[in-house]
């Protein structure tokens, strides 16, 4: 009963502020847009007509939620901004491959933006209930004006965050539209990804990955053959470094995931406790517990998507398909379209 009340409040509050992309005219994009459909747009992207050097003059915007390096190394002590370690237009990738990686990043970013909005919406609903109860207590002379003012200030801050989350829903969709080369056609709904590539528990070592890249990546081999001996040495060093960073990132994200799962379990226990206390009318922090549970789920998805992105790049560098390991699922989705 209590969850239905919260949802009703969320719907009531949100009904006055529908996202702009929902109110827009038909975008002419598939709705919902699936990941295979989005990746298919890479074939005709304008970037394909530019050479690698020119493409570097037009770097893509940073993702809003998928800052994988910061997520993996949240406790880093270096003073330099390392977010650009996740480079896109590297000479190790062809332009088309880089475009596909960007589409994958943007697709994940939209999904995370929608989850973030859900968290903000639930958080605002909880703050709204807290403020409303404080006002009721004030009418009964059991809450001071100062207490109500404090609750109202807290609610307004959370309300501001909620509208910021709504704005990022549109912004991430605009960035995805650019990534697929359709800047005037904002995707409305995305089809959730049922299965991502399976990353083995025992990761391949750096030596085997390096050897596989030099043996099986036809595009990379072709680029190496066009270079001088000195340039080949430099590109091979960059290849080794890139492979190492992706391996370390996946390993570190596994550690972060263990922490996230422990936090998620704690949130589940607190939510159960809050529901019990709510039913007993002892406490009223159910809304906050629900919001924190959603926040924990958001981080779990961030970790999952960052690991998939890193693994996908390792796939490409070895001469494999972007989403190798999920090909059967992707093909099945394409049949249905």
Confidence grade of residue 175 (pLDDT, cut at 50, 70, 90): very high
Question: The tokens 């039913």 sit on which residue?
Answer: 279
Query: Higher-confidence residue: 14 or 211?
Result: 211
**248: pLDDT strictly greater than 50:** yes
- The per-residue pLDDT for 277 is 61
- Mean predicted confidence (pLDDT) in 125-138: 91
pLDDT of residue 226: 93
Q: Please give the pLDDT value at position 232.
A: 96
> Which tokens go with 133?
């109860």
- The contacts of residue 292 (CB under 8 Å, 6+ apart) are 267, 270, 271
Q: Enter the DSSP assignment of 31.
A: S
245: left (phi over 0), alpha (psi -120 to 50) or beta: alpha
Lowest-confidence segment of 154-158, 182-186, 307-311, 328-332 by average pLDDT: 328-332
pLDDT score of 207: 96
Instruction: Report the pLDDT value the prediction gives residue 266, as an integer from 0 to 100.
Output: 79
pLDDT at 291: 63
| Spatial distance between the Cα atoms of 144 and 272, rounded to a whole number of angstroms | 31
Tens of pLDDT, residue by residue over 21-79, are 444 444 589 999 999 999 999 999 999 998 878 887 888 888 888 888 888 887 554 43
| Confidence bin at 88 (pLDDT 50/70/90) | low
- State the pLDDT confidence band at 315, using cuts at 50, 70 and 90: very high
pTM of the model: 0.82
Residue 275 has pLDDT above 70, yes or no: no
Q: What is the pLDDT of residue 139?
A: 94
Whole-number average pLDDT of the chain? 82
Written as one string, the DSSP assignment of 102-152 is HHHHHHHHHHHHHHHHHHHHHHHHHHHHHHHHHHHHHHTTSS-HHHHHHHH
Report the pLDDT value the prediction gives residue 1, as an integer from 0 to 100.
41
């Amino acid at each position: 009963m209590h969850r239905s009340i919260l949802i009703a409040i969320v719907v009531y509050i949100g009904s006055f502020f529908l996202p702009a992309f929902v109110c827009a005219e038909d975008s002419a994009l598939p709705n919902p847009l699936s990941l295979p459909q989005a990746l298919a747009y890479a074939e005709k992207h304008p970037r394909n007509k530019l050479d690698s050097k020119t493409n570097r003059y037009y770097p893509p915007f940073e993702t809003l939620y998928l800052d994988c390096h910061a997520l993996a190394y949240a406790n880093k002590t270096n003073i330099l901004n390392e977010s650009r370690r996740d480079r896109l237009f590297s000479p190790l990738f062809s332009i088309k491959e880089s475009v596909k990686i960007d589409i994958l990043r943007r697709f994940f970013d939209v999904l995370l933006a929608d989850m973030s909005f859900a968290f903000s919406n639930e958080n605002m609903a909880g703050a709204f209930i807290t403020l409303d109860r404080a006002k009721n207590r004030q009418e009964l002379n059991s809450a001071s004006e100062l207490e109500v003012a404090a609750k109202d200030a807290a609610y307004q801050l959370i309300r501001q965050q909620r509208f910021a989350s709504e704005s990022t829903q549109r912004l991430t969709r605009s960035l995805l539209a650019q990534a697929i080369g359709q800047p005037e056609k904002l995707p409305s709904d995305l089809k959730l990804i049922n299965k991502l590539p399976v990353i083995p528990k025992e990761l391949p070592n750096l030596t085997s990955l390096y050897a596989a890249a030099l043996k099986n990546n036809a595009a990379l081999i072709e680029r190496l053959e066009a270079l001088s001996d000195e340039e080949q040495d430099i590109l091979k060093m960059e290849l080794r470094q890139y492979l190492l960073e992706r391996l370390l990132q996946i390993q570190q994200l596994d550690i972060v995931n263990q922490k996230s799962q422990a936090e998620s379990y704690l949130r589940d226990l607190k939510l159960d406790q809050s529901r019990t206390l709510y039913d007993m009318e002892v406490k009223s922090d159910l809304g906050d517990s629900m919001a924190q549970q959603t926040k924990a789920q958001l981080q779990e998805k961030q970790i999952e998507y960052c690991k998939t992105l890193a693994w996908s790049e390792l796939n490409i560098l070895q001469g494999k398909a972007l989403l190798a390991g999920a090909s059967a699922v992707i093909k099945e989705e394409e049949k249905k379209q």
